[in-house]
A and B are shown apart, each in its own frame.
Chain A
Amino acid sequence: MNEHRLRIYRTEGVVLARRDWGEADRLVTLFSPSHGKLRAVAPGARKPQTRKSGHLELFTRGHFVLAKGRTFDKITQAHTEAYYPRLRSDLQGVARAALACELVDRFVPEGDTHPPLYDLLARTLERLDAGEPPDVTMLFYQVRLLALVGFAPNLTTCVLCGQPLMPADHAFSHDEGGVVCMSCATPGLRLRPLPLPALKVLRFLQAAAWPTARRLRLDPFTRRHVTALLHQYTAHVLEREPRSARFLREISAHDR
């Protein structure tokens, strides 16, 4: 029998968001490889004696049993697979994990299944927890996420004239979603400069597998440039800045 027709179903998932609901319940946003993004109520999850709340913390990856409901499905059982304790122990780790989850929450419509994106998110949380280079982990994540949700910036040809890009400094257009060559970069267009090293890094992150990408070493200027460009481009596509991006920026500034 089709699993979706059953009243009870089980799924793996990552807790993307949760908020208080009713008297003592929680409304949890899960991202599941088989059911996509879904919101479900965890009855009584705010009571101290609940068996579920520890398994429903943000960023937790676990197995969940849900019962179909009228407005929201109900989480009847939850079991943690990975809690990622190391990334929770420092503010920047929390901020990065929050950004990773918020981006999925904002880009993926409810009910949309996206197994490769689920895999990317779960691996990113693992990498952040395992102490992989955090900046490269997040840049890799953002570049791959944009590609998976259909907003990969065009980095090989000029988005205006279509000519292949020469190895030189260029400009980037958020509106056009890619690189503009210097001959097309006329005043009046809303462009930001894109130095050649930053373009190379973005192309590398689009193409390289993680074992190679993780070895990327960035000079501070290029890192700041690529980070800012990706944040601004993502905010442009989403039509608002993710809340946790602001948080990460403030926390990072405080730590410097």
Chain B
Amino acid sequence: MSAPEGALPTSVARLIEELSKLPGIGPKTASRLTFYLLRAPDEQVNALAEAVRALKLGLVECERCCHIAESSPCAICRDEGREQSVVCVVEDPLDVVAIERTGAYRGLYHVLHGAISPVEGILPQDLRIAQLIARLDREPIREVILATNPSLEGETTATYIVRQIGDRPIRVTRLARGLPMGGDLEYADEMTLIRALEGRSEVQ
């Protein structure tokens, strides 16, 4: 839904077009955001422009864990206080943030930047799986925690990685899958219930 030619100044139309390319933002939301920015104070608009401009400048991918960082190795990989023998494999940088927020994990990460998806045509070689395997051969890693999403793509990726790790003397674990906090047993799907039963644990 682009505006008729000449109905809007070029700069406004251009920002609407650029914003509507973002995931989850349609032309209506893009127009609303554009007009909000048009009315916002100059400082706020400049700060946003500067943040967007600076986003990719000086950002690198950590040579060790493939997480996005300001320098390589990243802060997590540089932290010697972390357990160096455990690697948690996640799909996206935001998954690192989610796990870090728990404060319950003190090992290292490996970011795949996606998951294998036959439907979207994402193949193993499009991800950082080869880098992970090379890392396992290079570093004294004893355990790999597969923390890919409990979706078809996440499971497929985990299966593929297990196959790639092969018979290396490394413990491979998968995040437990089961019932979420505040969930309702009666509405759980069969697969979640099966996984929850398989992964049941002793009451401490």
Contacts and interface: CB of A to CB of B under 8 A. Distances in A.
B119 A54 contact: no
A89 B160 CA distance: 10
Contacts of B42: none
A247 B180 contact: no
Interface stretch (B11-19, B70-78, B104-112, B189-197): B189-197
Interface string A4-21: 000000000000010011
Interface stretch (B60-68, B79-87, B137-145, B149-157): B149-157
Given A57-B151, A85-B191, A94 B24 contact: no
Nearest to A90: B159
Nearest to B187: A51
A162 interface: no
B160 A250 contact: no
Given A48-B180, A98-B118, A102-B119, A88 B155 contact: yes
A238 interface: no
Would you call the interface of chain B mostly helix, strand, loop, or mixed? loop
Contact of A244 (B121, B182, B188): B121
B45 interface: no
B120 interface: yes
A83 B163 CA distance: 23
A91 B159 contact: yes
A85 B195 CA distance: 12
A139 interface: no
A94 B191 contact: no
A83 B191 contact: yes
A49 B163 CA distance: 31
Contacts of A88: 152, 155
B153 to A, nearest CB: 8
A23 interface: yes
Interface string A149-161: 0000000000000
B71 to A, nearest CB: 31
Contacts of A248: 118
Interface in B150-204: 151-152, 155-156, 159-160, 163, 180-184, 187-192, 194
B23 interface: yes
Contacts of B180: 48-49
A247 B58 CA distance: 35
B190 A83 contact: yes
A4 to B, nearest CB: 27
A27 B184 CA distance: 23
A9 B118 CA distance: 31
Interface in A22-36: 22-23
Size band of the interface chain B makes with A: 20 to 34
Interface residues of A, number: 32
A48 B95 CA distance: 14
Given A88-B155, A94-B152, A49 B119 contact: no
Contact of B118 (A21, A54, A80, A244): A244
B189 A54 contact: yes
A82 B38 CA distance: 52
Nearest to B121: A243
A248 B121 CA distance: 10
Contacts of A22: 24
Interface in B112-137: 116, 118-121, 123-124
A99 interface: yes
Residue from the set B119, B163, B191 with the largest chain A CB neighbour count within 10 Å: B119
A54 B152 contact: no
Contacts of A95: 118
Interface string A231-246: 0000000000001101
7 contacts: A23-B24, A49-B180, A57-B151, A80-B189, A91-B156, A243-B120, A250-B123
**Which A-B residue pairs are the 8 nearest by beta carbons?**
A54-B189, A243-B121, A98-B118, A51-B187, A247-B118, A244-B118, A48-B180, A58-B152
